[in-house]
Chain A
Amino acid sequence: MDFNDTPQEAEYRAKVRAWIAEAAKEYEGLPEPKSQDEYVARQKSWQRKKYDADYAGLTWPKAFGGQGLGPMNAIIFSQEEARSAAPTGLYSIGLGMCIPTVFTHGSKAVIERFVPKALEGGEIWCQLFSEPIAGSDLAGIRTKAVRDGDDWIITGQKVWTTFAHLSDYGIIVTRTDPSAPKHKGLTMFIVDMHAPGVEARPLKQMSGGADFNEVFFDGVHVPDAWRIGAVGDGWKAGLTTLMNERLAVGGKPRNSPGWRTLMDLARGIDTEQGPAIERMDVRARIADTYINDEGVKLTQMRALSALSQGKTPGAEQSISKVVVAKTMQDMAAFALELSESAGFAAGEKDSELARLQGAYMWSAGLRIAGGTDEILRNIIAERVLGLPGDLRPDKDTPFNEIVPL
């Protein structure tokens, strides 16, 4: 066993490290963007550089403008990118999830029109799936699309849409046949986010921030030529997107507090039972946090190792998010309680306590985003352990005749 790059991986890493060092120099030491436009411009410039240097779409097929490389190349590139000052993030949804769906299920004309422009960073994309009425049970969406000559007219509401306010286009799943069973009456389209009738509003979260949007569609026209896949095949197209999402969501958010935070905090606190760091309950919590967070990291390394060896990663990766989110919540709650009133009083900006309070608030959302704890346990039980699925009494009923049990 070893944790080293193979000679080929090392060679590739050295190559991209050298390129990134040079290309990302201009972003070093820059202050946070002062405006949305500045943020977008910075992100765009980095994506364009990658595109020009053939570092965009690393794992995409060459036919779609990609580089046709293996997953290890993409992983190495993003590891090196993360070590640099390069501004990344804005394209994660579009290039990570939307465009692979477009080139898997879209027509030739659609692919030619949208894929190259997206890859060079010229157009920004979002994913319009969840609705207030349908999150875990995504096939229950109600946003409708009605045929009107060569167009479809979309009316409804989407929610939790990352980057909707910055996006030029989105992929949207709509209900085109309410008389078909829920999974069968869905169709996916590309929608112009600047079209009349589209309104993206920031959605204020329980944590106070607004990292997502809700998007309203009021009679929005979409050409039939922008349909992704056949009418009624929207669920199939959506699964392609979600498969790509599962590859992306999972690990502990970078720089989020962990066992080290708790250890440092405990070192500075005296309690009635003595210094916090010497209390067995505190030490046990540090150990638990370490075991969960580092266990996920090591599990991911098992997957990386499999990829590096040209094998398919095992099912064990499916534990990542469900462990990370709850561990963050438990650790943060423990740390705040250990801090007594100071853990409750709003922490000073950029202080460790403020970070812990932020993590506590954010963890509540993390346990829901990208698959709730409950859905993820279902997936582990059903797909990994082979247990039977939940009963779905509405599965074969026409959508507009479903009567809740």
Chain B
Amino acid sequence: MNFDFSDDARALSESARRMLTEHAGPDAARRIMDSDVAYDEALWRQVVDLGLTAARVPEAHGGVGLSPEESCVLAEEFGRSLAPVPFLSTLLATEALLLAGTEVQQAKYLPGIADGSTIACYAWGEGVNSPTAIPATRAESGRLTGTKSPVADALTASLAVVTAAGEDGPALWLVDLKNVSVAPAATLDLVRKHGTIALDGTPAEPLGTSADYQRFIDRAAVILAFEAIGTAGAAMEMAVGYAKDRVAFGQRIGRYQGVKHKCADMYIKLELARAHALYGAWAFAADADELRHAAAAARTASLDAVRFAAEENVQLHGGIGFTWESNCQFYYRRARQLSAALGSRAFWADRLVRALEQRNRAAA
């Protein structure tokens, strides 16, 4: 049995962590929050130079051709560091192209992603009409009409993978953003900048079938689960670090069970999420049928972990945690972003039960 990441994946995540520890983290997040720029360009250059955008791109298209495991470990590191760069957005688009792109589409877009000249985003949200079932954005005769918002990194991206309703239900479309109007969209997450993509008969290429779309959101759910696990882990470390340091009533507050048990619960939720996410990573890499329920469980558990860690991190800090100057807000706000990025917890919990019902029927 080998239910763990490969040594290669671990080595890659370690080198990413070293770089991100030095150049990302809450201070970098704060700089971007306080500025008008959409992302940290210098950091993005380093991400590209380290070969991280090329990791998943096949060698034939100028990449390194690494496995889904590498996507997962990198997602965790970017989640942990809050890195204000469009890495996860570009990675999701990469995965969509790898899964559903034709040879022509892959040849057209992947080399630019690998060398960093193309930044991509994944346009899912539609206000209250989150496209979990039928998106309001419609595709007709190769043209999309509708408003995608808020879309992470839309302001920086030149390419968008868009979820829109086609003839057979929701599916993915590729949209060149060069001639599309993208306006800033204010969100609760002040670090990861979002945009509104207004589509009005905008030309788009179909990217796979609606079945591919379903498989894509499973894969995306696994990757975003790792991102959430990274963020949850960082929030937990911040809380634990503070509990070891802060003194009240003559004791470090970490001695109080009211405090330490919260920290233990953060760890419990984090490890449950990690176990499911690892199972999802296996199912993703093996292209196994189990991916449908593994991904849903990973996504659901990871949203629980990150919400709990982010909320209780503020709580354990007390008043100082509620100040603007405290870094607690980054995790608290990011937990909202992670939840909105690909359908809420309720959607994924229901998708999990649906998948389990299907498996039960198949087994019967």
Contacts and interface: CB of A to CB of B under 8 A. Distances in A.
Do these two chains really belong together in a complex? yes
Given A290-B356, A387-B244, A283 B350 contact: yes
Nearest to A309: B2
Interface stretch (A21-29, A91-99, A363-371, A388-396): A388-396
A323 interface: yes
Interface string B267-291: 1100111111011011001100000
Interface stretch (A101-109, A117-125, A165-173, A378-386): A378-386
A230 B259 CA distance: 38
Interface in A246-274: 259-260, 263
Contact of B2 (A287, A288, A295, A308): A308
Interface stretch (B45-53, B152-160, B248-256): B248-256
Nearest to A282: B353
B244 to A, nearest CB: 6
Nearest to B236: A385
A348 B251 CA distance: 54
Contact of B3 (A3, A6, A284, A386): A3
A323 B264 CA distance: 11
Contacts of A2: 1-2, 282, 286
B104 interface: no
Contacts of A4: 1
A263 B301 contact: no
A286 interface: yes
Contacts of A294: 276, 297
Nearest to A381: B260
Contacts of B254: 381, 387-388
A105 B5 CA distance: 39
Nearest to B273: A295
Contact of A385 (B267, B281, B301, B349): B267
Contacts of A84: none
Contacts of A304: 1, 3
A89 to B, nearest CB: 26
A287 B349 contact: yes
Contacts of A14: none
B282 to A, nearest CB: 4
A319 interface: yes
Given A298-B278, A319-B271, A378-B260, A259 B356 contact: yes
B240 A387 contact: yes
A342 interface: no
Interface string B332-364: 000000000000001001101100110010000
B240 A308 contact: no
A156 B153 CA distance: 70
Contacts, number: 153
Given A291-B272, A298-B276, A323-B272, A378 B257 contact: yes
B142 to A, nearest CB: 37
Nearest to B265: A377
B300 interface: yes
Contacts of A386: 240, 244
A381 B271 contact: no
Contacts of B356: 259, 263, 286, 290
B353 A1 contact: no
Interface in A297-313: 298-299, 301-302, 304-306, 308-309
Given A377-B261, A380-B264, A302 B2 contact: no
A336 B263 CA distance: 31
A301 B282 CA distance: 13
B20 interface: no
A316 interface: yes
Contacts of B268: 319, 322-323, 380
B263 A385 contact: yes
B236 to A, nearest CB: 8
Interface string B227-248: 0000000001000100110000
A30 interface: no
B218 interface: no
Contact of B272 (A9, A263, A295, A385): A295
Nearest to A287: B349
B76 interface: no
A136 interface: no
A374 interface: yes
A59 interface: no
Contacts of B1: 2-6, 9, 301, 304-305, 308
Given A287-B353, A319-B268, A298 B260 contact: no
A232 B204 CA distance: 79
B264 A385 contact: yes
Contacts of B282: 1-3
Contacts of B357: 263
Nearest to A323: B268
Interface in A1-38: 1-6, 9
B289 to A, nearest CB: 14
B244 A291 contact: no
A244 interface: no
Given A263-B356, A377-B260, A388-B254, A299 B346 contact: no
A389 B251 CA distance: 11
Contacts of A302: 3-4, 275, 278
Interface in A30-48: none
B77 interface: no
B69 interface: yes
A292 interface: yes
24 contacts: A1-B281, A1-B285, A1-B286, A3-B1, A263-B360, A284-B346, A287-B349, A291-B300, A291-B352, A295-B275, A296-B275, A298-B275, A301-B1, A305-B2, A316-B275, A381-B264, A382-B260, A386-B240, A386-B244, A387-B240, A387-B243, A388-B244, A388-B252, A391-B255
Given A284-B349, A296-B272, 12 more contacts: A1-B282, A6-B1, A287-B349, A298-B3, A299-B271, A302-B4, A305-B2, A308-B2, A374-B257, A381-B260, A384-B267, A389-B255
3 tightest A-B CB contacts, nearest first: A295-B272, A381-B260, A298-B275
